[in-house]
Structures are given as structure tokens and as C-alpha cells.
């Protein structure tokens, strides 16, 4: 039956599936062996979860076949999990048919970026699993939904807030560029970049998820990819930037070209001033 998990951050309705070696739940088997119905890895994966103090997984999210999960990608499937010491979080499980031999590369990058606060907090990572902070969709909106909701208010103050958020995003992406990490998918940030609110502290912060395609790079493109999205592919760009025209776009292209060669904070400041981001 449906049950709830209560945490300090959120309350979720879903079906709890206990992790038990003696009585293997069908949902547990489904996610640990996905996309197969049986797998030789099941016993090892189950033992790993038990030894690392995972108590249950929660069926919650999008429907995949007969079950609900948070998400499904080419190399992994994600569910909500509850750990005795870390509490509620997202458990990313490597698919049995994944071309990736391990999730350790992604785990290493998340660990490396953990102190930037721009990634979900990472709790544990291994060959087959990554356990990390759950980004609550009731407190976090995708960048598109957040900016669009401000623009739709049709007042100068809301537009100013939207531009301020874009400025904060660019500064954080600059930090990741300087750390030599390329996310790889910020030219289409819809499902990757979220704006979250801490109601107690009355603050807004940025979180970026899905680092599966990320890599260490001498020429990361986080700032340039996101700037290109905002300037060329975002449907409401003309509302954000009233004076957008070919001359304006050429100026931004020039600044971005120089930035790609230098990764200079001075070029980032030029871009922010050119876009008139407060």
C-alpha cells in the first residue's frame, strides 16, 4: 500500500519496498536487474545495499512498465532510496545492459565538485551505484520553468530577477569551467539546471544534475553552452534582452570566442555587462 517518507525537507507519497535478502521484493529485483527480469548481479547488488545500510527503496515518479521510478537513461535507472545514516536520497543504479562499465567516473566528478554546492550532495558512489541528494521538484524548478514563470508576470521587477538569476548561473558555470569540468549538456539545460528555494533562509540557489556525460577537460564549455542556449534557442529571449539584434549577437559571439581561449574572468564580466545582467 502507499506509505509516506517524512524528512526535514519534504513528505513523499509512494510505495515502500523493504530491502530483504530472505524475501526479495519484485520492485527491488526490477530496478537492480533492469532491463532484465533476472540477472546474475542481483545477489551481489542486494548484498552491497544491505552492507551499506540501505533499508528500502521507494516506488515513486514516472511509470516504467509496471513500476514507478524517478528516471531512466541509457546507462542507469534512478529511484528514491532510504539509507540508515544519510536518510532519503536518489539512488542511481547502473543498468545491466549499460555500455558504461562503471558509474565511478561520474561519482568521482560529483565528489570533486561537491564543495561548489552546485551539484547534488553526494553521499556514496561505487561501480554500480551513486547515492546523492534528492532535488525536490516542489522546491526546485527547471531553469526554463523558473525564468518563464517570471517573464509571464510581465513586470519590470520580475524581468530584473530573471536576469539576476542568469548572472548567478553564469558565475557558477565559470567556476566549473575553471575547475576543468565540462557538463556536456548545458546547451539544452531544461532537465539539468534547477533553481531552488530555501524558505527558512529565504534564499535561492542553483543546482545542476545529470553529470553522466561530464568529463575532465582542458576546454570546458559550460559558460559558452549555456550562453548560446539563452541567446539563440530560448523562445522568450527577446523579452529578456530587449535590444537583441545581429549587432548585439555579434558582440556576444566575440566575447565568447575570447572567453573560450582565455577563460578570463574579465571576459565573463564583459559578457555579464553586455547582457545587462544586474
pLDDT digits (tens, 9 = 90+) for 41-55: 999 999 999 999 999
> Of 11-15, 19-23, 166-170, 272-276, which gets the smallest average pLDDT?
11-15
Q: How confident is the model at residue 7 (pLDDT cuts 50, 70, 90)?
A: very low
Torsion 131-132-137-138 (CA) sign: positive
The arithmetic mean of pLDDT across residues 11-23, rounded, is 88
pLDDT digits (tens, 9 = 90+) for 200-259: 767 889 999 999 999 999 999 999 999 999 999 998 898 888 778 999 999 999 999 999
pLDDT of residue 14: 87
pLDDT of residue 201: 67
pLDDT of residue 113: 95
Grid cell locating 92 = 542511481
One-character DSSP codes across 57-121 = EEE-SEEETTEEESEE-SSEEEEEEEETTTEEEEEEEE-TT-S-S-SHHHHHHHHHHGGGSSSPP
Residue 199 has pLDDT above 60, yes or no: yes
Grid cell locating 236 = 522568450
Residue 6 has pLDDT above 50, yes or no: no
Residue 3 has pLDDT above 60, yes or no: no
Q: Which has the closest alpha carbon to 214: 122, 140, 277?
A: 122
Residue 8 has pLDDT above 70, yes or no: no
pLDDT of residue 11: 56
pLDDT of residue 4: 47
Residue 142 has pLDDT above 80, yes or no: yes
What backbone torsions phi and psi does residue 109 show, to the nearest 5 degrees? -65, -45
Within 10 angstroms of residue 1's Cβ, the number of other Cβ atoms is: 4
pLDDT of residue 59: 96
What backbone torsions phi and psi does residue 216 show, to the nearest 5 degrees? -75, 135
- The rounded mean pLDDT for the chain is 92
The residue with greater pLDDT, 6 or 265, is: 265
In the sheet that holds 193-198, the strands lie side by side as 140-142, 193-198, 203-208
The arithmetic mean of pLDDT across residues 21-31, rounded, is 95
* Gap between the Cα atoms of 140 and 193, Å rounded: 10
pLDDT digits (tens, 9 = 90+) for 97-134: 999 999 999 999 999 999 888 999 999 999 999 999 99
The arithmetic mean of pLDDT across residues 28-50, rounded, is 96
* Gap between the Cα atoms of 65 and 110, Å rounded: 30
The proportion of the chain whose per-residue pLDDT surpasses 70, expressed as a percent, equals 96
* Gap between the Cα atoms of 254 and 232, Å rounded: 15
Amino acid at each position: 500500500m502507499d506509505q509516506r517518507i517524512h524528512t526535514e525537507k519534504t513528505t513523499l507519497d509512494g510505495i515502500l519496498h523493504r530491502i530483504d535478502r530472505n524475501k526479495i521484493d519484485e520492485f527491488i529485483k526490477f530496478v537492480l536487474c533492469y532491463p532484465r527480469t533476472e540477472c546474475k548481479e542481483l545477489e551481489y547488488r542486494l548484498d552491497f545495499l544491505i552492507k551499506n545500510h540501505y533499508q528500502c527503496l521507494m516506488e515513486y515518479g514516472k511509470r516504467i512498465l509496471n513500476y514507478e521510478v524517478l528516471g531512466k537513461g541509457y546507462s542507469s535507472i534512478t529511484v528514491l532510496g532510504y539509507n540508515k545514516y544519510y536518510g532519503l536520497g536518489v539512488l542511481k543504479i547502473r543498468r545491466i545492459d549499460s555500455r558504461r562499465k562503471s558509474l565511478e567516473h561520474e561519482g568521482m566528478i560529483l565528489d570533486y565538485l561537491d564543495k561548489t554546492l552546485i551539484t547534488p550532495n553526494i553521499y556514496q558512489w561505487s561501480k554500480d551505484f551513486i547515492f546523492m541528494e534528492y532535488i525536490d521538484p516542489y522546491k526546485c524548478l527547471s531553469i526554463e520553468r523558473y525564468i518563464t514563470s517570471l517573464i509571464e508576470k510581465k513586470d519590470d521587477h520580475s524581468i530584473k530577477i530573471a536576469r539576476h538569476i542568469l548572472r548567478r548561473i553564469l558565475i557558477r558555470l565559470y567556476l566549473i569551467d575553471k575547475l576543468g569540468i565540462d557538463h556536456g549538456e548545458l546547451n539544452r539545460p531544461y532537465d539539468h539546471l534547477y533553481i531552488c528555494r530555501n524558505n527558512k533562509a529565504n534564499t535561492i540557489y542553483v543546482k545542476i544534475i545529470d553529470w553522466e556525460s561530464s568529463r575532465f577537460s582542458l576546454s570546458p564549455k559550460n559558460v559558452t553552452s549555456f550562453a548560446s542556449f539563452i541567446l539563440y534557442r530560448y523562445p522568450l529571449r527577446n523579452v529578456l534582452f530587449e535590444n537583441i539584434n545581429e549587432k548585439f549577437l555579434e558582440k556576444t559571439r566575440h566575447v565568447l570566442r575570447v572567453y573560450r581561449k582565455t577563460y578570463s574572468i574579465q571576459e565573463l564580466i564583459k559578457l555579464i555587462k553586455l547582457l545587462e545582467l544586474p
